[in-house]
């Protein structure tokens, strides 16, 4: 399963992911990538219902909550992590089917932590492992965008299978 590059992502799409992550910092952004074969061609930003709490934009985040979030430990933050809006998820999958695209990637950002899956991320991925096939979808690659160094975003991709994390090959064009 692990080829030299499991995924080929055009640079403008990587830039869009970083922009999405920055726009929601200090909350995590999340979404799907879809395309054909191993080449990604489309971003589906999905609302993070933990981060947004019904708000549409980063500008409307409650100051007190932002302060509270940054005072939490990485473990505590990982617990609240991200929860994708279910309706938007299914809308995205429906649109992919209509356009003949395959769901390839589930992405989210780590505003304060490295670009590797947290304990919670692995647990959630585990919980979802059966759902993908139930939805007639193949196991996606998990992509992490780290803003730990704000001036140097780090993007890494992983397979999460049976609770085991392994690096996925990522190439940009």
CB of 77 to Zn ion, least distance (A): 9
The answer to whether 160 touches 144, Cβ cutoff 8 Å, is no
Given the complex with Zn ion, which of 35 and 51 has the nearer CB atom? 51
CB of residue 97 vs Zn ion: minimum separation in angstroms? 27
Smallest CA-to-CA distance from 76 within 123, 29, 120 is with: 120
Question: Which residues sit at the interface with Zn ion, rule CB under 5 A?
Answer: 118, 121
Q: Residue 172: enclosing H or E segment and its boundaries?
A: strand 170-172
| Residue whose CB is less far from Zn ion, 101 or 147 | 147
**In the complex, residue closest to Zn ion by CB:** 121
> In terms of CB distance, is 104 or 118 closer to Zn ion?
118
| Terminal-residue alpha carbon distance, the chain | 21
Q: How far is CA 29 from CA 5, 19, 110, 111, 153, in A?
A: 24, 10, 8, 9, 14
12, 50, 80, 84, 155 from 72: Cα distances, Å: 33, 15, 10, 21, 23
Q: In what order do the strands lie in the sheet with 30-36?
A: 164-167, 154-161, 141-146, 102-110, 30-36, 39-46, 7-9, 170-172
What's the closest the beta carbon of residue 138 comes to Zn ion, in angstroms?
21
Q: Which is nearer to Zn ion, 88 or 121 (CB)?
A: 121
Task: Tell me how far, at minimum, the Cβ of 128 lies from Zn ion, in Å.
Answer: 13
Shortest Cβ distance from residue 84 to Zn ion (Å)? 12
């Amino acid at each position: 399963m692990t080829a030299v590059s499991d995924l080929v992502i055009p640079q403008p799409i990587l830039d869009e992911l970083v922009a999405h992550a920055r726009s929601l910092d200090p909350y995590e952004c999340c979404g799907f990538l879809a395309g054909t074969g191993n080449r990604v061609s489309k971003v589906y930003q999905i609302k993070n219902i933990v981060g947004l709490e019904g708000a549409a934009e980063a500008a409307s985040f409650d100051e007190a909550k932002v302060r509270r979030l940054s005072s939490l430990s990485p473990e505590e933050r990982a617990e609240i992590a991200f929860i994708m809006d279910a309706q938007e998820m299914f809308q995205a999958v429906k649109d992919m089917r209509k356009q003949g695209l395959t769901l390839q990637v589930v992405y989210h950002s780590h505003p304060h932590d490295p670009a590797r899956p947290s304990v919670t991320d692995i647990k959630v991925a585990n919980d979802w492992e059966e759902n993908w096939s139930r939805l007639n979808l193949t196991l996606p690659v998990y992509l992490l965008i780290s803003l730990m160094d704000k001036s140097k975003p780090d993007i890494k991709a992983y397979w999460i299978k049976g609770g085991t994390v392994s690096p996925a090959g990522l190439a940009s064009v």
